[in-house]
Chains A and B, each alone.
With several copies, the nearest count.
Chain A
Amino acid sequence: MSQYQENATVTRVEQLTEKNYRLTFESPLIAGVCKPGQFVMIRTSIGQDPLLRRPFSVHQVLGESQIQIYFKEVGRGTTLLAHAKVGDAYSIFGPLGRGFKINTGGPSILVGGGLGIAPLLLLLKENCRLKKTFDNDLVILGGRSRAEVEPLLEDFKQYGVTVRVATDDGSLGYQGYVTDILKASQVTGDSTVYGCGPELMLAGLAKICKEVGVACQVSVESVMACGMGACLGCSRPDKKGSYIHVCLNGPVFDAEKLEWNM
């Protein structure tokens, strides 16, 4: 497993909604090795405040040497990142964690909610590269409203897979939850559901998939200090009553291995 720390230069800044941004970095070493579902740790300040790095999923790998993150401004670190300018350099290390294991044997159903959409684009690309056919594949994207989903729609549609949308307020696509769409879809037993999004959505996915009896991989979050298994800070209870570590054992897990609070 290769990991690198690089000083990555920002090559593009996109503000997709009021609070959502997409940054492209020239980060050739990391770009060369990262897999869907893996993440990177980014230092957001030059000083000591905020002190710790922030974890972000790899959203896309562009060409040979660029990686993208897609993030929401929620606090001090992401606010600093939101002010990034082309040419600024950030210390990034990664790729970290275990990503999605793409099941090439049956249909793929990618379900993303809110910022959970971030890792699915790289996953979809790899999915389409690895699989012979993806006629029965499905992407379900959810968000609070149109603004949160629309800017990314074309990026997903370009792969030719069916994309469905759910928004809380119905301003785009179906009014309701991504899980509603999943429930209403034809899901064959050889399918794999890949999910990323808010905890409640993932718990819902896990439940549906268990009932229907299909495999479900979810990418979960946790507070992190190191991102690489050194601090043991990112623990999360597993089904067996002990702790797993999101950065090392995840962030992608088989949903059935985790403990879900609904």
Chain B
Amino acid sequence: MEYVKSSGDSFADMQVNIGSLQLKNPVMTASGTFGYAREFENLMNLQRLGAVIVKGISLNPRPGNPPPRIVETSCGMLNAIGLQNVGVDRFIKEKMNYLAGLNVPVIVNILGDSIAEYEEITSRLQGVPGVAGIEVNISCPNVKKGGVAFGTDPKMAAAVTAAVKGKSTVPVMVKLSPNVSDIATIALAVEDAGADSVSLINTLIGMAVDLKTRRPALANIIGGLSGPAIKPVALRMVYEVAKKVSIPIIGVGGIETAEDALEFMLAGATAVQIGTANFVNPRASEDVVDGLAAYVVKEKLSSIRSMIGQLNLA
């Protein structure tokens, strides 16, 4: 039960289940937008979160791309961070201790350029205290297949999923790429391969040009588009996937407020992730928790779960 700040002494049933993972509320932070959580400790109450998803971790440390790595666009931003991270071993050694102490489920976002790499990271994360789940970022290029992203091909997506599932004792959430013709097919493929849940969407591939210098605005030329601009695409994809799969869906993309989160839940999401909004308002995720709880009370819902997939199509 979540205490409702704004409505006196009310409590709201905010619990949701992502497969075997019980969350006290449906609000997570999106990978790459919340650091390793500690960055936000002064600006919000981390304990209020349903789950924390950390910045994507690879087997070996990655330095990331040269700057400029980010550029603002209309109601959004492009990033080409280049998956900078300290690598799985240092992550476990340097970051997990603090995270485990939060008493919030920690979901580790992982990435690789081969199936073997995904498997190896997964193995190393097993048994690490605090790791409650794994989110598989399949938007990365498969180096063995000429750099085609795992997430754009149902077979490759299924193969990564099965491989990670084979090594994992904790629930596996597969994060889908929106840069595909038919996201429901990919979702079905990863469901069949054993995914416990799917999260969507990752960023749309975009680009910006600096007219003054006549150069790409990002050193990497292309980058990932996130923020309110992409919310309609994310909502549509959640809706499409919800019609096809029966595993829980976690909605991501342009969510800033509790209203946004509720819209995703109506479209079929069991939970949501807050991404770019963390930059605009470092307390955004906590504000969404507050807003959802207030909504449950105001609308006299038996629980927040009663919103899931309840879009009225009549």
Contacts and interface: CB of A to CB of B under 8 A. Distances in A.
A228 B283 CA distance: 13
B72 interface: yes
A50 B64 contact: no
Interface in B18-41: 32-35, 39-40
B64 A243 contact: yes
Interface stretch (B160-168, B175-183, B273-281): B273-281
Contact of B72 (A4, A43, A50, A228): A50
Contacts of A43: 280-281
A53 interface: yes
B84 interface: yes
Given A51-B227, A91-B281, A235 B67 contact: yes
Given A51-B228, A52-B279, A225-B70, A233 B79 contact: yes
Contacts, number: 105
Contact of A226 (B67, B84, B278): B278
Given A3-B42, A225-B279, A230 B33 contact: yes
B282 interface: yes
A237 to B, nearest CB: 7
Given A52-B280, A53-B279, A243-B84, A230 B74 contact: no
A110 to B, nearest CB: 27
A153 interface: no
Interface string A14-56: 0000000000000000000000000000010000111111000
Interface in B37-76: 39-40, 42-43, 55, 63-72, 74-76
Interface in A208-262: 222-237, 242-243
Contacts of B67: 222-223, 234-237, 243
Interface in A100-150: none
A186 B228 CA distance: 55
A93 interface: yes
Contacts of B69: 223, 232-235
Secondary structure of the B side of the interface? loop
A150 to B, nearest CB: 29
A2 interface: yes
A172 B278 CA distance: 45
Given A230-B278, A231-B79, A93 B70 contact: no
Nearest to B73: A51
A53 B280 contact: yes
B81 interface: yes
Contacts of B227: 48, 51
Contacts of A243: 63-64, 67, 84
A231 B64 contact: no
Contacts of B84: 232, 235, 243
Contacts of A230: 33-35, 39-40, 278-279
B81 A51 contact: no
A77 to B, nearest CB: 9
B42 A225 contact: no
Contact of A51 (B55, B65, B280): B280
B75 A49 contact: yes
A189 B279 CA distance: 42
A227 B34 CA distance: 12
A93, A227, A228, most chain B CB atoms within 10 A: A228
Nearest to B80: A233
Contacts of B228: 48, 51
B77 interface: yes
Contact of A231 (B63, B71, B81, B281): B81
The 9 closest A-B pairs by CB, nearest first: A233-B70, A3-B42, A230-B35, A226-B279, A229-B39, A225-B279, A48-B75, A230-B39, A233-B69
Interface of B: 32-35, 39-40, 42-43, 55, 63-72, 74-77, 79, 81, 84, 227-228, 256, 276, 278-283
20 contacts: A3-B42, A3-B43, A4-B43, A43-B281, A48-B75, A49-B74, A51-B72, A51-B227, A52-B72, A91-B281, A223-B68, A223-B70, A225-B77, A229-B39, A230-B35, A230-B39, A230-B279, A231-B70, A234-B69, A235-B69
Given A228-B39, A242-B63, 18 more contacts: A4-B43, A5-B281, A48-B227, A51-B280, A52-B72, A52-B77, A228-B43, A228-B282, A230-B34, A230-B279, A231-B33, A232-B32, A235-B65, A235-B69, A235-B84, A243-B64, A243-B67, A243-B84
